Amino acid sequence: MDICIIGAGYVGLTTAAVLADIGHTVYCTDVDEEKIKKLQQGIIPIYEPGLTEMIAKNQEKGKLFFDTDSKRYMADCPCIMIAVGTPSAKNGSADMVYVKGVIDALSQTIRTPKIIILKSTVPPGTADWIEADLQRQGVDKRLFEIVSNPEFLREGTAIEDTVHPDRIVIGAKQSEAALKVQELYQNLQTQFLITDRLEAELIKYASNAFLATKISFINEIARICDAYHADIMEVSRGIGMDRRIGPRFLQAGLGYGGSCFPKDVNALNYVAAAKDIQLDLVQAVKKINRSQVDIYLNKITHSLGKRSDKPRIAVWGATFKENTDDIRYSQAIVLMKKLIRKGYQVYAYDPLVSPKLSSVVWCSNPYEAVEQADLLVVATAWSAFLEADWDRVKALMKRPVIVDGRNCLNRKTVEMYGFEYVGVGRP
């Protein structure tokens, strides 16, 4: 099938690459001319393992194209997928300005029957609203069907998650439209859930809020482990062995960040409040996540003790998680800002990014960052950090103390090298 994808962000690009790879002809469009020019030359604007290769392969095969002329492809393709961003507005709601822009463009182009797939994460009722808006703008209802088809990919493993999803959720008013969307993915081995549009929209918000809840829950249990000198890693393993709970997203650490959890948790709160529902649990999830960085800050201050000089802290990792160059809502950055505010010197290193942050000194490798450091914080679980040359690190540091912000290091190994290890919920 010929598919027009609107939005060449994380979701749009990955979906475009995978749909082209399984045999469709995909036209991915974006308003950003610079981005499209680069994509046409095979330069990918984000770091995502495997994405560059998959895009290049399908461009070569004549299955994947990038263009700024979205109206042309909206008019030509029978299937249009909306994958534009829905960032957090000031009041916590999802900002629908980009979606609205696409709908206005669509209203001017629909002349033949279209399936419009809503991939962007949107509040419940959006598909209905789009349907009404298109009709209000004079588009004949018989010419289009809106289908909600949320995306569950994670940055860093986006290709794997799109090729082998746990499930594909398709929310449609008519079963014919749902089946057409199911056909798009027929070459993927997965299970399909065909449901109504409102339910599909809510599944996305509820999934992200639930995963964020798992993380805040384990971080709260880690606080109890700290108080009782118990090991959260063991507690987490034991909890996860219960198939009703499952082992994933039970890794205690600095808390969650990224482009989805913080924004979607806020948006869920907003849509609930609009119906006079107070989400106590979701509020608590946010609160725990916010205070998680302070737990580490206290550990750092405690380890450094009272000092007359300005302690030097090395921070490894700035992205919100490993294998991405995304720093949106990164807890590592929140921590760096708080360290600076406390009056510490911060020397940081990340394998991919060095964002402008007042008073943070960016280093060109992890070893440069630890020179003369009083303490090292591992804030993102990049594999390069897990496999560091600990002998070298120890020789460079002033005090051999490691604060493991992701409980990701092999504690026995670093202790063997003579470091003092501080995690969260680690006795």
Kindly write out the interface string for residues 121-160 of this chain, putting x where it contacts ligand UDX by CB under 6 A and - elsewhere. Answer: ------------------------------xxxxx-----
Quick one: 111 or 167, whose CB is closer to ligand UDX? 167
Pick from 201, 398, 167, 382: nearest CA to 303: 398
Q: With contact defined as beta carbons under 8 Å apart, do 42 and 55 qualify? A: yes
Cα–Cα distance list, 90 to 124, 163, 328 (Å): 19, 35, 16
Q: How far is the CB of 158 from ligand UDX (least distance, A)?
A: 8
Q: How far is the CB of 363 from ligand UDX (least distance, A)?
A: 22
**Tokens matching residue 363:** 């280093």
DSSP string computed for 55-98? HHHHHHTT-EEEES-HHHHHHH-SEEEE----PBPTTSSB--HH
Q: How far is the CB of 336 from ligand UDX (least distance, A)?
A: 15
d(CA 171, CA 363): 48
Among 261, 296, 349, 385, interactor with ligand UDX by CB under 6 A:
261
Quick one: 66 or 329, whose CB is closer to ligand UDX? 329
**Cα dihedral sign, 307-342-348-333:** positive
Q: How far is the CB of 358 from ligand UDX (least distance, A)?
A: 23
Q: How far is the CB of 99 from ligand UDX (least distance, A)?
A: 17
Quick one: 110 or 381, whose CB is closer to ligand UDX? 381
Stretch that binds ligand UDX, among 21-29, 42-50, 64-72, 246-254 (CB under 6 A): 246-254
Quick one: 133 or 325, whose CB is closer to ligand UDX? 325
Pick from 55, 42, 45: nearest CA to 14: 55
**Cα dihedral sign, 27-33-36-41:** positive
Among 12, 165, 253, 351, interactor with ligand UDX by CB under 6 A:
253
Residue 349, C-beta contacts closer than 8 angstroms, at least 6 positions apart: 314, 315, 316, 317, 362, 363, 364, 365, 366, 368, 369
Q: How many residues belong to the site for ligand UDX (CB under 6 A)?
A: 20
Kindly write out the interface string for residues 305-324 of this chain, putting x where it contacts ligand UDX by CB under 6 A and - elsewhere. Answer: ---------------xx---
Among 118, 250, 334, 414, interactor with ligand UDX by CB under 6 A:
250
d(CA 20, CA 58): 6
φ/ψ of residue 359, rounded to 5: 75, -5
Quick one: 292 or 345, whose CB is closer to ligand UDX? 292
Instruction: Determine if residue 253 is labeled as part of a ligand binding site.
Output: yes
Instruction: Determine if residue 86 is labeled as part of a ligand binding site.
Output: yes
Within residues 153-172, the interface with ligand UDX by CB under 6 A covers 153-155
Instruction: Determine if residue 92 is labeled as part of a ligand binding site.
Output: no
Q: Which residues bind ligand UDX (CB under 6 A)?
A: 151-155, 208, 211, 215, 249-251, 253, 255-258, 260-261, 320-321
